[in-house]
Amino acid sequence: MSNFGASAIAALLAALNVTTGDSGEDTPEAAASNAAAKDGSVWIAHSVEGRLHTFTPMARLKPGDSGKYKLRVMRDGAGGRTNNSQGGRLPEVDASSGDPATLARTTISIDDGDDWAIELTVSFDNGRTAVSRLTSAGAETPEE
pLDDT at 18 (0 to 100): 36
- Residue 36 has a pLDDT of 43
pLDDT in tens, the chain (144 residues): 444 444 444 444 444 433 333 334 444 434 444 444 455 689 999 999 999 999 999 999 988 889 999 999 999 998 889 899 999 999 988 766 778 999 999 999 999 889 999 999 999 999 999 999 999 876 555 555
Residue 80 pairs in a beta bridge with: 77
Q: Are 73 and 16 in contact (CB under 8 A)?
A: no
Q: How many CA atoms lie within 13 A of 18 on its CB side?
A: 25
Q: Which fold has domain 3-135?
A: Immunoglobulin-like (2.60.40)
Residues 19 and 16: their CA atoms lie apart, in Å, by: 9
Please tell me the distance from the alpha carbon of residue 107 to that of residue 44, in angstroms, as a whole number. Answer: 13
pLDDT, position 124: 94
